[in-house]
A and B are shown apart, each in its own frame.
Chain A
Amino acid sequence: MASTEASTAAIAVQRRTASYERLTAADRPGVAQPVPERPVPVKPWGAMMLAVVVLVVLATAIWEWRMRSLELAAGDLRDGPSFWAEQRRRLDAGDVQVAIVGDSRILFDTDLDRFQALTGVRPVQLALPGTNGLPFLENVAADPDFKGLLVVGLADMSYFRREIGLMADALDRYEYESPAQRSSFVLHRALSRELAFLDENYRLSRLVQRLDRGARAGTAGPYDSPWKVATTGEDRQTALWRRLETDRYLNDHARHFWARGNQRPPVDDGLIAEILERSIKAVAQLRAHGGEIAYVRPPSAGFYVALEKRVIARERGWEPLLAATGAPGIHGSDDPVTRSLYLPEISHASRACSTVYTDAYVRSLVKVTRLRLLPGAPPPLTPADCAPTGDYIPM
């Protein structure tokens, strides 16, 4: 009773005095500033904090459950500049036999497990989504420690442009990564192995912003930005997100985003010449310190084929690139296997078909590079091995 009265009195005193402004340095010109006031309001802080912890844990658990119901998964480590830099540093240690650079097609369409099962070599995956592979080819070519095979995956519209693209800061992060950035990456990865909701695309603000389906005409809204299309596992093993095979809304959105390329004019001859010159130089540099290179052009489908032909046709980009660099090339439309794969959103192979695609292009790689199939390598795969079943979205 006495303590209740004392608390009530204390609260009453605090209410009378604390409602006035507290003096600050702004009110005390030209004098030594005193130790600040920082009163703790009289409240049942213990009970409040307990309630907060319970509420937050409960809400987070419900959120986690909800995100898993949307097919986010624990173990999806999410890509980023620190993850890329970690893999890039493996080349500095030397003795890397195969590395892959390029854009999202070679990134999503390569099954590292299959590659290793066929050749005994597990490549270092350095391709980046939405990003031009040429600066990364140049980066690896300039590295005297790399003497292996560099697979350069290219989507024509991504390679034949000046901009680096979405993940331009990956190289900066490789050049310098602060201890804080490194530790935050390690911690985030550890949490991502257990929690599904830690996905940039499913942040609170993103979910709110995606409620806007283009209400204001003439503006590029959230629907015009890239959304989640991939999942990333250990050592950057990345694949197309399964939901894009079955969710019509997400699939339509992905195709809508790719269709922005319709605004792009054809690549001019000057830019082509510039890209070829840079490529020639990088390939020569790579070969000079014992490295080897092969270009790989994964398949596309639907309107993307005509779009790519309009912007940078094979005979203007791909063919001159191989001729100028003298590098071997494996084109997705030359192989009957890779021509017939299931590409849910017309730009990337499905998760199952990435295994078939990898099988096919590795079998072509061993014919034109130092890479060799293992004696007991598994037999070739066909499109039938990844034919979609059930309720899937046709190409």
Chain B
Amino acid sequence: MVFNSLTFVVFFAIVLVLFTLPLAWATRKIILLVASYLFYAAWNPPFIILLWVSTVVDWWAANRIPLARTQARRRAWMATSVVANLGMLGWFKYGEFFLHNFQALAAGFGIQYQPPDFDIVLPVGISFYTFATMSYTLDVYLGRSQPTRSVLDFSLFVTFFPHLVAGPIMRPTELVPQFQEPRRPTLDQLRFGLALMTLGLFQKVVLADGFLAEPAELLFDGTKVPGALDAWIGTLAFSGQIFCDFAGYSTTAIGAALCLGFKMPDNFRFPYAAVGFSDFWRRWHITLSSWLRDYLYIPLGGNRHGESRTYFALMMTMLLGGLWHGANWTFVVWGGLHGVYLAVERWLRKAFGDYRPGPVTFVMLGLLTYALVNVTWVFFRAATFEKAWLVLKGMFGLNAAAEPILPAVHLTAVTAIVGGIVFTHWRMRTRTLESLVTATPAPVLATAWAAMAFAVIVEQGTGNAFIYFQF
């Protein structure tokens, strides 16, 4: 189920009531576990089996690692987890993609190969929970943590519904300790949690779905050739949409967890105020970028084996990070572009390491970063390279037969909303949301909270899935 649905409202209310009953801690954890399985089954019941497979494989593998007598055996158990999880991910998410590419490759050699029509259903959230369970086994293998003794705690770590289908991708050391001690939310945690959920749903339902999705669709899914204005505004609309959609989900998830007394990590830190791309990736989808850093970039050598190896590790991490987002070469190019940006930035920092920009230059560099990020969003959103090139050409005024696409109201709304987002990110780039809440008078906060809640109610979205559900 999705957070922005009536079903979730009822589900969450029931879970809150049941979880706060005066029952034993183990019983309350079982309630959470059952609720989390129901949360996932509400999408498609049989796919619970995949959650169980991931849970059983990683529980077993992680418990065998400390008992292994040789490094080879330790590595074998670690590999079992990686192969099982990436195998599931590869089959469900990339099976058809690999088949179609094999077919194209064969055709390039004059071989006509018609693959069977498998029609593989992509299980929602598979990219997220496989990464979460792999991190459990990998942390045990790398000596960063010990396996948990409680299969209940581990199962709950895998399935905890606030983060199950679209993150934040939590590490076992972040969540499992929270299951080991009985806890109940304080009244203030509940209220602040509900406020966070309101903020998250406002971002998703009102901003992303209500005002930003349509202009992005008109540009990227329409047939008209865009000029500069439409190409930029439509792309900015998508940049706003994907931020509000995904950050909205994360904020709602963090709020839901807090309502239950659990703490989840930040996943976004005002990314559209990033200055440079390494800064961007410390602010955007933090849990994914740090996962890729810890389990891919560093094992590939990181920056410890010379410049060439560093650039290789960087590019591989970003290319695979792009592929993680979807089974399409456009996502790989998106990741590759970010890899190129990071590599160029690294080279520039080495070449001009002593340079310190003044305040105006600092802001200009930030805006340049945002503009270049928008160039990558074109590849992320476009279904084909042809469409991506058309939009990019439009952005630089190179389409001869450009036609107006976006009506005035979309131009105005996108400018206002995205402008507001970027402005807010710059005001908040060295702050936390909690610090802003602390500094804001209570009547202002209450009014803003009420306004957002009312806007969510009267926008009454149709329960559109979050963009990142498809990853």
- Can you give 8 A-B contacts (C-beta < 8 A)? A39-B434, A51-B446, A60-B457, A184-B7, A187-B6, A205-B210, A205-B211, A208-B211
Q: Is the CB of B408 within 8 A of A216?
A: yes
Q: Is the CB of A24 within 8 A of B269?
A: yes
Enumerate B156-197 residues with CB–CB distance to A below 8 Å.
171, 173-175, 177-178, 186-189, 191-192, 194
Q: Is the CB of B463 within 8 A of A31?
A: no
Is residue B307 within 8 Å, beta carbon to beta carbon, of the partner chain? no
Q: How far is the CA of A45 from the CA of B434 in the complex (A)?
A: 13
| A201: min CB distance to chain B, Å | 11
Size bin of chain A's contact surface? 35 or more
Give the chain B neighbours of A200 by CB distance below 8 A. Answer: 460, 462
Q: How far is the CA of A33 from the CA of B157 in the complex (A)?
A: 14
Q: Is the CB of A40 within 8 A of B189?
A: yes
Known contacts A55-B447, A203-B460, A36 near B264 by CB under 8 Å = yes
Interface residues of B, count at CB 8 A: 86
Q: Is the CB of B294 within 8 A of A30?
A: yes
- Proximity bits, A76-108, B CB within 8 Å = 1, else 0: 000000000000000000000000000000000
Known contacts A204-B458, A205-B211, A219 near B265 by CB under 8 Å = no
| B442: min CB distance to chain A, Å | 5
Considering residues A24, A27, A31, A222, which has the most beta carbons from chain B within 10 angstroms of its beta carbon? A24
Interface stretch, picked from A13-21, A137-145, A309-317, A346-354, is: A13-21
Give the chain A neighbours of B411 by CB distance below 8 A. Answer: 216
| A18: min CB distance to chain B, Å | 4
Considering residues A60, A179, A219, A221, which has the most beta carbons from chain B within 10 angstroms of its beta carbon? A219
Q: Is the CB of B454 within 8 A of A60?
A: yes
Enumerate A1-44 residues with CB–CB distance to B below 8 Å.
11, 14-15, 18-22, 24-44
| A31: min CB distance to chain B, Å | 7
Q: Is the CB of B294 within 8 A of A179?
A: no
Q: How far is the CA of A255 from the CA of B88 in the complex (A)?
A: 53
Q: Is the CB of A55 within 8 A of B407?
A: no
| B293 CB contact (under 8 Å) in A29, A216, A221 | A29
Task: Give the total number of A-B pairs whose CB atoms are below 8 A apart.
Answer: 224
Is residue A46 within 8 Å, beta carbon to beta carbon, of the partner chain? yes
Q: How far is the CA of A26 from the CA of B194 in the complex (A)?
A: 27
Q: Is the CB of A36 within 8 A of B263?
A: yes
Q: Is the CB of B174 within 8 A of A34?
A: yes
Q: How far is the CA of A219 from the CA of B269 in the complex (A)?
A: 36
Give the chain B neighbours of A48 by CB distance below 8 A. Answer: 191, 442, 445-446, 449
Q: Please name 15 further chain A to chain B contacts, defined as beta carbons within 8 Å, in addition to the given A34-B173, A179-B45, sorted by A numbering.
A: A18-B438, A21-B269, A21-B431, A24-B269, A28-B290, A36-B265, A40-B188, A40-B189, A42-B438, A47-B442, A56-B454, A56-B457, A59-B450, A187-B10, A212-B407
Residues of B whose CB lies within 8 Å of any CB of A are: 1-2, 5-8, 10, 41-45, 139, 144-145, 171, 173-175, 177-178, 186-189, 191-192, 194, 206, 209-211, 214, 254, 258, 263-266, 269, 281-283, 286-287, 289-291, 293-294, 298, 403-411, 413, 430-432, 434-435, 437-439, 442-443, 445-447, 449-450, 453-455, 457-463
Is residue A392 within 8 Å, beta carbon to beta carbon, of the partner chain? no
Q: How far is the CA of A183 from the CA of B9 in the complex (A)?
A: 11
Q: Is the CB of A38 within 8 A of B174?
A: no
Residue on B nearest A212 in the bound complex, by CB = B409
Residue on A nearest B194 in the bound complex, by CB = A49
Q: Is the CB of A204 within 8 A of B459?
A: yes
Known contacts A35-B174, A204-B455, A212-B407, A49 near B191 by CB under 8 Å = yes
| A160: min CB distance to chain B, Å | 22
Q: Is the CB of A205 within 8 A of B435?
A: no
Give the chain B neighbours of A28 by CB distance below 8 A. Answer: 290
| A63 CB contact (under 8 Å) in B1, B175, B458 | B458
Give the chain B neighbours of A43 by CB distance below 8 A. Answer: 188, 437-438, 442, 445
- Proximity bits, A174-216, B CB within 8 Å = 1, else 0: 0000111101100110010000011010011100110110111
| A83: min CB distance to chain B, Å | 13
Q: How far is the CA of A12 from the CA of B209 in the complex (A)?
A: 39
| B248: min CB distance to chain A, Å | 15
Give the chain B neighbours of A178 by CB distance below 8 A. Answer: 1, 42-44
Q: Is the CB of B409 within 8 A of A59?
A: no
Q: How far is the CA of A203 from the CA of B456 in the complex (A)?
A: 10
Is residue A52 within 8 Å, beta carbon to beta carbon, of the partner chain? yes
| B228: min CB distance to chain A, Å | 15
Q: Is the CB of A208 within 8 A of B1?
A: no
Is residue A218 within 8 Å, beta carbon to beta carbon, of the partner chain? yes
Considering residues B2, B211, B290, B461, which has the most beta carbons from chain A within 10 angstroms of its beta carbon? B290
